[in-house]
Amino acid sequence: MHFRGHTTMSSPLRVGLAGVGTVGASVVTLLERQRAALASRTGRSIEVTAISARERGRERGVEIEGFAWFDDPVALAASPDIDLFVELIGGDEGPARQAVETALGARKPVVTANKALLAKHGMALAALAEKQHVALAFEASVAGGIPIVKTLREGLAGNEIRRVYGILNGTCNYILSRMELEKLSFEQCLSEAQRLGYAEADPTFDIGGFDAAHKLAILSSLAFGTAVDAGAIHVEGIQSISLADLESADELGYRIKLLGVAERSEHGIEQRVHPTMVLKSSAIAQVMGVTNAVTIDADAVEELTLVGPGAGGGATASAVVADIADIARGIRSPPFGLPVASLDHSARLPMQRHEGGYYVRLSVHDRPGALAAIATRMAERLISLESIVQRSKPGKRSPVSAGTTVPVVLITYATTETLIREALAAVVADGYIAERPQVIRIERD
C-alpha cells in the first residue's frame, strides 16, 4: 500500500521527539533551518512541539524551552497534542519499545533510528502500524545518512535483487583502515577509536559484529521480502584480525573489511556478518575510515554502490527528517516493502551451506612433510588450492628445531564452510600447527 493524503499549509505537522542527544538535537536544528523549504516541499509546516529526555537541564546546543516537556516518553507518545512520534531513545526493550507501541496504538506515525528495536520486534511493530494504517519509518536505522531503505523499498522496485552487502559499522572500518595504513595493532586502533568517540567504552556491540547484524537483518528483509530474522545471522567480529592478515591480503590483491552480506542462492537466503577479503579494485574496498557503504547486485541496475556517513548527528538527522517529510506529504508504504502477511518466513540457510573461497593462515611446525600433509587433508575433501605461500623471508628463518613454526597462507577455490572446517579440524588433530587456524572468507564478484 502506498497512499498520498491531502495536506494543506494550514495543517502543521506537530512532532513529538523522544531522545534529545546528538541526533535529536541535530533533528531540531535541521527542521528549523529547513523550515521554509520543507513547508514548500511537503505542503505543510513541520514543527517540533514536545520533547522527552532523561535530563531536562542538560546542555544540548539547541534551545528547548519553547517545547512542551515530558519526563515519560510513553506519555509523549500518547499525547493528543502531537501528530507524529520520533523515537531516538535506543534499546530493543524498555521505554523505546513501549513508546513506539503506544504511538502506533494511538494511530500516530512513528519515525525511528533504532535498529536494535527493529531487528528484534520489527515484524510485530510493522503489523501494528499496518493494522492502524499509519507509517513506521526507519531510514536512519541503517547506514546513517545513506538513503538505503528508500532505495531498496522504492527505488529498486523493478529489480530482482541477488545480493546486498556492505560496510555497516564505521567503528570496525576505522579500526581496520588504520591497522592497514599505519601498521598498528588492533588494540592500539581500538584505543584511538575510543579516544575519538568512534567506539564506546564497552565496544563489544560494534567490534563483535552485532551492530552490523541488526542492520543487515533490516536490509535482508527489504531486499528479499523476508521476515526480519536477526537470530539467523552468522556473526563474527574483527577481534582476531592481525597485521599479518592485513599484510597477506595486500600482497594477494585484497583488503579486509567487516561486511554484512545477504544473498539469495538456489538453496535459500544467506545472512552473515564477518571479516571478508575483497578485491582492492572493488568499489567497497576503497571505503576507508568511519564511512559506510552498501552495494546492491540486481538484475536491471547490475551493481549499485551507495557510500556516505554511517553515523553522526547531521547524517542521521538527515535520514530522520527525510522520513518526517514523507509522512508530512501523506506518503505511507509498508515498512518492509510488503504487507507483513506477505513476507517470507521460511528458515534462512545455515552458515555451513555457504560456498566460496577462503583465506587460511596457519602457524605450521617446521618439520618435513607438514605442508604435504596439510595439502592432503584439503584434497581429501576435494578442496582445491589456488595458492599456498610460506611467508617466512629468506635468511630470516631459524634453524629447524623444536618449537620453530612457519607462517603459511592458503587461498582456496570455492568450497563449502563445512568442508573447510572439517579439513582444518583434521589438520589440527594431526598436530602440524601450533595455533588455531585463522579463516577469512573471500567475497568475489
Residue 395 confidence class, pLDDT cut points 50, 70, 90? very low
H or E stretch at 111:
strand 110-112
Dihedral pair phi/psi, residue 376, rounded to 5°: -65, -45
Is the pLDDT confidence value at 51 over 90?
yes
Bridge partners, residue 87, by sequence? 18, 112
3-state secondary structure of 272: strand
H or E stretch at 330:
none
Please tell me the distance from the alpha carbon of residue 48 to that of residue 86, in angstroms, as a whole number: 10
Whose CA is closest to 383, among 341, 443, 425? 425
| Catalytic positions, written as ranges | 215
3-state secondary structure of 15: strand
Tell me the mean pLDDT in the region 127-148: 94
Q: pLDDT digits over 173-194, tens only?
A: 999 999 999 999 999 999 988 8
Please tell me the distance from the alpha carbon of residue 125 to that of residue 129, in angstroms, as a whole number: 6
H or E stretch at 420:
helix 417-430
Please tell me the distance from the alpha carbon of residue 24 to that of residue 389, in angstroms, as a whole number: 52
pTM, rounded to two decimals: 0.89
> Hey, what's the cell of 74?
510513553
**Using CB atoms within 10 A of its CB, is residue 305 exposed (0-12), middle (13-18) or buried (19+)?**
middle
Torsion of CA 20, 23, 24, 28, to 10 degrees: 140
Is the pLDDT confidence value at 363 over 80?
yes
Given the C-alpha cell 584480525, which residue does it identify? 241
> Hey, what's the cell of 228?
526480519
Is the pLDDT confidence value at 32 over 70?
yes
> Hey, what's the cell of 423?
579439513
One of 3.40.30.10, 3.40.50.620, 3.30.360.10, 3.40.50.150 is the CATH number of 148-309, namely 3.30.360.10
> Could you tell me whether strands 110-112 and 254-265 are parallel, antiparallel, or unpaired per DSSP bridges?
unpaired
Is the pLDDT confidence value at 400 over 60?
no
**Using CB atoms within 10 A of its CB, is residue 410 exposed (0-12), middle (13-18) or buried (19+)?**
buried
107 in Cβ contact with 84 (< 8 Å):
no
How is 51-85 classified by DSSP, letter by letter? EE-S-SS---SS--TTSEEES-HHHHHH-TT-SEE
441 in Cβ contact with 257 (< 8 Å):
no
> Could you tell me whether strands 355-365 and 415-416 are parallel, antiparallel, or unpaired per DSSP bridges?
antiparallel
Compute the residue count for the chain. Answer: 445
Q: Show me where the domains of the chain are located.
A: 13-145+318-342, 148-309, 354-443
Mean pLDDT of the chain: 89
Give the end-to-end CA distance of the chain in Å, rounded to a whole number. Answer: 35
CATH fold label, 354-443: Alpha-Beta Plaits (3.30.70)
CATH fold label, 13-145+318-342: Rossmann fold (3.40.50)
Whose CA is closest to 413, among 386, 438, 437? 386
Residue 396 confidence class, pLDDT cut points 50, 70, 90? very low
CA 118 to chain centre: 13
Q: Which of 192-206, 225-239, 350-364, 383-397 has the lowest mean pLDDT?
A: 383-397
392 in Cβ contact with 407 (< 8 Å):
yes
Is the pLDDT confidence value at 442 over 90?
yes
pLDDT at 392: 60
3-state secondary structure of 385: strand
248 in Cβ contact with 361 (< 8 Å):
yes
